[in-house]
Amino acid sequence: MGERDGQPTRGGRSVDRDRAADNGAVSLSPARRARRSNPEKSRPSFFWFLAGVALPLSRLMMSIRIENGEKLPRFGPVIIAPNHYSEIDPVVIGLAAWKLGRAPRFLAKSSLFDVKVLGWMLRSSGQIPVERSGSTRNKDPIAAAARVAEREQVLVVYPEGTLTRDPAFWPMRGKTGAVRLALQHGIPIVPAAHWGTQRIMARYSKKISFFPPKKVRVRFGDAVDLTAFEGHPLDGATLAAATEVVMTAITRELEELRGERAPETRWDPSKRGQSETGRFES
């Protein structure tokens, strides 16, 4: 401990300033507040290693700006439901959640777990492998995801299930897994949208553009109100209607980022003769 202008200092910072920060007198960024208040990020875990690798690399290719970060709960189970139009989207959402103090788990293609180093990293960080058939290595994906929720963790579910088929990158028709999990277990769904990743990695491209770093904006919305569907049988009609509410919420956040309105009719691959899995070139 030293002195600066007659004031005691600690590590180059005024002790009075440290005390003021602890008392809330100093304005802190959402990311710094998250680090102070959320034990999930401060608790030693494999995510420390992942963050140590991903954060420096991410700065080479992107600058992430988080909007409405306070709308992502700092504690308890929550489902983040983002839009999806680039293979690098999970990196962006994962980094945004981590900066806000949460350690995200994803439903990921099972084939990724067969890649030696990548598979080890995915398993070590608690990610959930999903087969194309919808099973999780002989397990129900909803049950596997529910266990994450029971541990009061964050689960990222892309309602579209794959990269959007919409030529203009607007969210297409969603699948029902996220709302089924939310309604069955009473977990809030927070819609999220991001814009800018297409300049880093184009849809279906395997090439990453590193320089110069691209600006990426991530925006969170209010938790989706699904109370109108509570107590109803979770049949196809109920789940489809609830999913559309979620997709509308995601679209509204994306409209804010893009500064334009989405088409009135949502893109539906089944009505256009398109496959809903795998790659598709528009």
Is 188 contained in some domain? yes
pLDDT in tens, 21-30: 344 334 445 5
In whole angstroms, what is the distance from residue 104 CA to residue 220 CA?
15
Tell me the mean pLDDT in the region 97-115: 85
Looking at residue 214, its pLDDT comes to 93
Range of the domain at 206: 21-271
Question: Per-residue confidence at 271, pLDDT binned at 50, 70, 90?
Answer: confident
More confident residue, 13 or 204: 204
Q: Taking 50 as the threshold, does the pLDDT of residue 12 lie above it? A: no
Question: Per-residue confidence at 109, pLDDT binned at 50, 70, 90?
Answer: confident
Is 282 contained in some domain? no
Which CATH number is 28's domain given?
3.40.1130.10
Looking at residue 148, its pLDDT comes to 73
Q: What is the SS3 assignment for 160?
A: coil
Is 170 contained in some domain? yes
- Closest-CA residue to 254 (of 168, 181, 180): 168
Looking at residue 33, its pLDDT comes to 53
pLDDT in tens, 32-67: 554 445 556 666 566 776 777 777 788 888 999 999
pLDDT in tens, 210-252: 888 999 999 999 999 999 999 899 999 999 999 999 999 999 9
Is 195 contained in some domain? yes
Per cent of the chain over pLDDT 70 is 76
Is 281 contained in some domain? no
Q: Taking 90 as the threshold, does the pLDDT of residue 261 lie above it? A: yes
Question: Per-residue confidence at 141, pLDDT binned at 50, 70, 90?
Answer: low
- Closest-CA residue to 180 (of 132, 221, 136, 238): 238
**Count of domains observed in the chain:** 1
Looking at residue 248, its pLDDT comes to 98
Token pair belonging to 36: 């102070």
**For the residues of 108-121, what is the DSSP string, one character each?**
EEGGGGGSHHHHHH
Per cent of the chain over pLDDT 90 is 46
Is 279 contained in some domain? no
Is 280 contained in some domain? no
More confident residue, 282 or 261: 261
Is 264 contained in some domain? yes
